[in-house]
Chain A
Amino acid sequence: MAVIEVIGLRRTYRTTTGIVRRRPLEVEAVRGISFEVAEGRLFGLLGPNGAGKTTTIKMLITLLLPTAGEARVLGHDVVRDAREVRKGIGYVFGGERGLYERLSGLDNLRYFAELYGVTGRRQRERIDEVLELVGLRGRERERVEGYSRGMRQRLHIARGILHDPEVVFLDEPTIGVDPVGARELRAMIAGLVDAGKTVLLTTHYMFEADSLCDRIAVIARGRIVAEGTPAELKTRVADSSVVEVEVFGVEERELSRIRELPGVTSVSLEERDQAQIVTIQSPRGLELTQELPAFLDGARIGRIAAREPTLEDAYVALVTEATE
């Protein structure tokens, strides 16, 4: 049974541009997406910044009205039955905002417990449970302004699941959290699914989606460009080969030249410590390692290595294709 149903959902933001003479401006953030999430599953919405992930989540949790299309959560329409939807869901936004900084973690949890109708003895028990679950026991009486980013994120999760919702929306929950903290948060998210919750997770970390999600929808420029299990998405690049080049001082001009090479399907650049990593995808059998140095003229070249494609490569190929 589908717990989340999204049918042709659209959202257009209307704003103005200019200072003296204002002109109306429309931005199509979500352009008719459809997907379903089955009960007890962890569904990933994967996409680059500005792809429409947060807008989609905000429509599903009733904070934004869709411009067109429809969506149901737990069988309730997100526009007509907003209050029913709100009762059954929890949500967590990534980042540091969304907490009462000057008050303690416990004050925050007590207040949100009241908002969600968790009162009396049940409130005390539930706060104890979630503090234990997110590992904040012993720190709950400290003011939130003194919490680290990881602790704030744990408190966000504690707040989001305090009322034991059936569906949990997580919008980039590990963003900005250190690797150890992020790993613990991922374990916590996996624990939610083990406890029978349905989870919709947005992220732009590939390994996170790969390790956690039953199904993934890749979203780019407001459209879903692929959907399937992580294994199914990987098969999209099974016939590709990937070359990684470590360079120093490469510029967009050189990358554009590589993009124009016959057979090259995608080129991406990642900053890693002092170096830059250029990742080039092409059909299997196309030999690029000999030619590449000539196209990177002007940049200092380090290691060049060919490897098997990963889910990240599949994602990069899909997003590149969608945005070109």
Chain B
Amino acid sequence: MRYLRLIAVGVSFRVREFTVSRWFLLMCLLQPVIFATIAFYMFKAGGRPGTLLYAALGAGMMGIWSSTLFGSGGALQWNRWQGTLELLVAAPPPFIVVLLPLTIATSITGAYSLLATVFWGRVFFDVPLHLVHPALFLLAVPAAVLSLGLMGLLMASSFILYRHANALSNLLEYPVWVATGLLFPLALLPGWVAPISWLLAPRWGIDAIRHSALGGSVWFPIAMCALTGAVYLGLAAVFLRVFERAARARATLALT
């Protein structure tokens, strides 16, 4: 119970911390809107105006992924820079309970992107906001956000050991956008991409959100969000236990 409270308080603390950073907010709002705008024009030029909501949701999910990717890695590095990483590791609760709120908060802050792209599309491109399953949409968004937060936790677990591992973030942004169908349907990609996408939470997150908005099976992708999230959580728990001890042995928690 104490740990649940700590996670809740931690999420609120971290969301506040990210939200007061104008740069972080700008990244969450501006970048997805730019991508959404490009997608809207592409879809319009292709004579497929009915899929504008499809594009808006995909662009929003791209923002959530970027926020999680850079937030989870960057936030840990930022904690290392400002000397708070050592304080977090040396606190009595298991480190996973301390780190989890941070990565979930990056996904929640990333959800601003979804709001931004949908609002942008509605106001400037007349994107219809008719949702096929509105109640399930309200379930699909937090499921997607949570599973991405747990994926961020798995990535962050390696960032505690390797001081510059967050540089990998730059490599992972675009491939995941493409491989999980955020930009265009996976059916357009070679067959070997699909099995890779099954392992990635953004694939199931965007399926859940799009299917609840545009029609299609919603429960299966939500269940896959839960399953991938649980796998990420289990792996992160093991990695963190091993990596935290290794970081104490190698002295990589601090900059000096």
Contacts and interface: CB of A to CB of B under 8 A. Distances in A.
Given A91-B90, A107-B13, A114-B6, A13 B84 contact: no
B9 A101 contact: no
Interface residues of A, number: 31
A115 B83 CA distance: 16
A99 B82 contact: yes
A63 B250 CA distance: 10
A233 to B, nearest CB: 29
Contact of A111 (B9, B86, B90, B249): B9
B92 interface: yes
Contacts of A119: 2, 5
A273 B92 CA distance: 46
Contacts of B10: 111, 114
A100 interface: yes
B98 interface: yes
Interface stretch (B14-22, B186-194, B195-203): B14-22
Nearest to B7: A114
A65 interface: yes
> Chain B binding site: helix, strand, loop or mixed by DSSP?
helix
Given A13-B251, A63-B253, A97-B82, A115 B13 contact: no
B84 A100 contact: yes
A140 to B, nearest CB: 16
B89 A63 contact: yes
A191 interface: no
A263 to B, nearest CB: 40
A137 interface: no
Contact of A117 (B2, B82, B249, B253): B2
Nearest to A102: B20
B87 interface: yes
B44 interface: no
A103 interface: yes
A111 B13 contact: yes
Contact of B21 (A83, A102, A116): A102
Interface in B1-46: 2, 5-6, 9-10, 13, 16-17, 20-21
Interface in A59-107: 61-65, 83, 86-87, 91, 93, 95, 97-103, 107
B135 interface: no
A115 B84 CA distance: 13
Interface string A96-134: 011111110001001110111101000000000000000
Interface residues of B, number: 30
B9 A114 contact: yes
A83 B241 CA distance: 13
A117 B84 CA distance: 18
Interface in B202-256: 245, 248-251, 253-254
Contacts, number: 75
Interface of A: 13-14, 58, 61-65, 83, 86-87, 91, 93, 95, 97-103, 107, 110-112, 114-117, 119, 159
Contacts of A116: 91-92
Nearest to B2: A117
B50 interface: no
Contacts of A63: 86, 89-90, 248, 253-254
A117 B92 CA distance: 9
A107 B92 contact: no
A102 B248 CA distance: 28
A65 B246 CA distance: 9
Given A65-B249, A101-B82, A115 B16 contact: no
A117 B3 CA distance: 9
B98 A103 contact: no
Contact of B5 (A64, A83, A97, A114): A114
Nearest to B245: A65
Contacts of B88: 115
Contacts of A102: 17, 20-21
B248 A62 contact: yes
B128 interface: no
Q: 6 closest pairs, A vs B, by CB?
A: A97-B83, A98-B83, A115-B91, A86-B92, A114-B9, A87-B92
Contacts of B250: 14
Contact of B82 (A62, A98, A112): A98
A201 to B, nearest CB: 18
16 contacts: A63-B90, A65-B245, A91-B90, A97-B82, A98-B83, A98-B84, A98-B86, A98-B87, A99-B83, A99-B84, A100-B82, A102-B21, A111-B9, A112-B87, A114-B9, A159-B87
Contacts of B185: none
Nearest to B18: A102
A63 B169 CA distance: 27
B9 A93 contact: no
Contacts of A99: 82-84
A261 B92 CA distance: 56
B134 interface: no
Contacts of B6: 114-115
Contacts of B81: 97
